[in-house]
Amino acid sequence: MKGCRVALSVALTLVMAMGAIPVAGFGLEHAPEDVIEADDVRDVREESQAEDIVAVSESDELRDDSGEAQATGGGDADDGAAGQEELVEVESDVIEVQDDAPVVPDEAFSVSEDGVSDGEAESVKSLSPQSEAGAKEVSTAAKKGATAKRQISKASVSKIATQPYTGKPVKPTPVVKWGKTKLKRGTHYTLSYANNTAAGTATITIRGKGSYTGTKKVSFRIVSPSVAYYVHGQSYGWEQAWSRRDGATAGTIGMSKRVEALKIKLARRPVAGSILYRSHIQGVGWETSWHKDGARSGTVGASKRVEAIKVKLSGTMLKKYNVYYRVHAQHFGWMGWAKNGEAAGTEGYSYRVEAIQIRLVPKGRTGPTAPPNIPAFRRTYPSGKTGWQNPADYPQVSANTVRLPVYCVGEHTYVTPSRIAVNATREQCVEAFITRAYEYLGTPYREPWARQPGIGIDCSGLVLQCVYATGMDLEHARGTEKVGGYNPYNHFWVPEQTSNSMRWYENGTFMPIALADIRRGDLVFYEGHVAIYLGNNKIIHSVSGAGCIVDELWHARPIGAQRPYV
């Protein structure tokens, strides 16, 4: 219809210029020889315009319903007319007009009083300044309609669920739709994220692409889990309910008060799951069932101490997080961190738990750490050992870890925990002894130290920590009567114990044997030095200038040998 309006306007302009046109083209009841004068032309034009206005109105309604603008073909009236190849053809007394010509308001055109110049009869478009502006405006609007992009801000975005804190960037992908049509990421839009690592409110910016433009922002929550707990303690009863969270201390320190019961729950859980726990109770042992989500573990009113605890997660919480916990135990103080159902505390010592701490840590993230080689759990047995044992005249092995005297305080008090079973054989004790020695390889030589691997050790300090791995206590061994027990503290502080190798050799602390009879796990003595025999003429020892190394038996001349495991 747009084409009809423009073509008719042009045709009428021609009428005014030429003064007459065959009436057959309009279907008028005049004789063929009659011609249409100017007044008649005006009447015909008005009638045609009235019909055209109705048609254009219907076209506009259709255009509004579809939501799509019709493109013109250029930026102004002349360019648009040329680009659309608008034609006015007079053949067999009939005017034919193309239907796809752009719509231009009637008032945008006016008839020139100058008429039509020679050679321009087929393409007369004599427009006033008013008609040029109107045509240009219509053409520009049509062009914009053809290239207009949809605003992504008007698209619908699916709700983003709360996301669990993981310590890493969280990047959920929302569903973006235009009406009922699902848009494609990378084709219709892109996503960028902000503040999406730490717990709190994160933002996603949706930026239009292709046929979409603009931006739209949506937010979502990142939530970290939280664990809450409190204990029932000797003489002070229950602490304030759920007053301790995420690593805070529940219980007492320095007051010698036992923990008798405890409750634990997940105060905030970003994913499904529970927290479960149980206690090792004085005179009862480990509870047979796990308690969870705020139920009581332990006893109230029975005056029984909690000696150890175990805590673990379930469900999706177990997949996403680790639970760490530790206890402050009688005599030991803060012990190492246990996690995910491991035991924390003591068993067999009859030591009370005095305080606890619990934390949740995302999988893949580093958990809390304690000082090196501080165990989370220690177990002892009434007898310490069954089955094979050294003769009574020599130091005994035990599944129990050696405990130093109370005067031993400070950094030179480290003891390697016993790693043998209650019923360990001699061969198993020898292997535990040698395995511990290998763990010191590369540790620098420092005299007179008996510290942890990697920190510092001398030759007799190495032997001392290795016999500790089998629970062998040298506190009352031969040769200690005048210089005190053999332990890391005295080795460092007592001058007479600086060279324990020679004191052991001279006092027969371990069972003396002939050099010809040495076997794996025996001690080989040199002048002012001691080493551990590995077999096949190899030894492991700590040497000044080299540290802990594997060496040849005959690197120097041995003066004797002793057997720690008879």
Residue 524 sits at φ, ψ, to 5 deg, of: -115, 125
DSSP string of 176-238, one letter each residue:
EEETTEEP-BTTTEEEEEES-SSSEEEEEEEEE-TTEESEEEEEEEEE--EEEEEEEETTTEE
Distance of alpha carbon 446 from alpha carbon 381, whole angstroms: 35
Q: Is residue 245 scored above 60 in pLDDT? A: yes
Give the tens place of pLDDT for each residue, 63-105: 444 444 333 333 433 433 333 333 333 333 333 334 333 433 4
Q: Is residue 133 scored above 60 in pLDDT? A: no
pLDDT of 417: 94
Q: Which residue has the higher pLDDT, 113 or 545?
A: 545
Beta-bridge mates of residue 548? 542
The verdict on whether omega for the bond into residue 225 sits within 30 degrees of 0, i.e. cis, is no
pLDDT of 132: 52
Q: Is residue 24 scored above 50 in pLDDT? A: no
C-beta separation of 22 from 30 below 8 A:
no
Beta-bridge mates of residue 244? 229
pLDDT of 32: 40
Query: Sign of torsion, CA 504 507 510 512?
Result: positive
Give the tens place of pLDDT for each residue, 499-550: 899 999 999 999 999 999 999 999 999 999 999 999 999 999 999 999 999 9
Give the tens place of pLDDT for each residue, 346-369: 988 889 999 999 999 999 999 998
Give the tens place of pLDDT for each residue, 142-183: 455 456 899 999 999 999 999 999 889 999 999 999 999 999
Contacts of 285 (CB under 8 A, 6+ apart): none
- pTM here is 0.48
Distance of alpha carbon 448 from alpha carbon 157, whole angstroms: 70
Residue 189 sits at φ, ψ, to 5 deg, of: -165, 165
Residue with tokens 């009809």: 4
* Rounded (5°) CA angle 309-416-477: 120
Q: Is residue 434 scored above 80 in pLDDT? A: yes
For residue 519, the tally of other CB atoms under 10 A from its CB is 12
Q: Which of 402-430 are b and which e, b meaning 16 or more Cβ less than 10 Å from the residue's Cβ?
A: bebeeebeeebbbbbbbbbeeebeeebbb
Distance of alpha carbon 282 from alpha carbon 116, whole angstroms: 118
**In percent, how much of the chain has pLDDT > 90?**
66
Query: Sign of torsion, CA 319 321 327 333?
Result: positive
Res. 379 pLDDT band, cuts 50 70 90: confident
Q: Which residue has the higher pLDDT, 421 or 291?
A: 291
Res. 385 pLDDT band, cuts 50 70 90: confident
pLDDT of 386: 82
pLDDT of 44: 43
pLDDT of 131: 46
pLDDT of 116: 40
SS3 552: strand
Pairing type for strands 212-213 and 296-298 reads: unpaired
Q: What is the pLDDT averaged over residues 485-508?
A: 94
Q: What is the pLDDT averaged over residues 240-250?
A: 96
pLDDT of 147: 62
Q: For the chain, how big is the Rg over CA atoms in Å?
A: 48
Q: Is residue 135 scored above 50 in pLDDT? A: no
Spell out where 234-352 has E strands: 237-238, 244-245, 250-251, 259-268, 275-281, 285-286, 291-292, 296-298, 306-313, 321-329, 333-334, 338-339, 344-347
Distance of alpha carbon 21 from alpha carbon 42, whole angstroms: 13
Q: Which of 523-535 are b and which e, b meaning 16 or more Cβ less than 10 Å from the residue's Cβ?
A: bbbbeebbbbbbe
* Rounded (5°) CA angle 513-473-372: 120
C-beta separation of 275 from 239 below 8 A:
no
SS3 30: coil
Instruction: Say which range, 169-178, 255-264, 271-280, 381-390, has the weakest mean pLDDT.
Output: 381-390
CA 311 vs CA 295, 338, 343, 552: distances in Å: 13, 9, 8, 49
pLDDT of 16: 47
Nearest to 88 by CA among 194, 188, 7, 1: 7
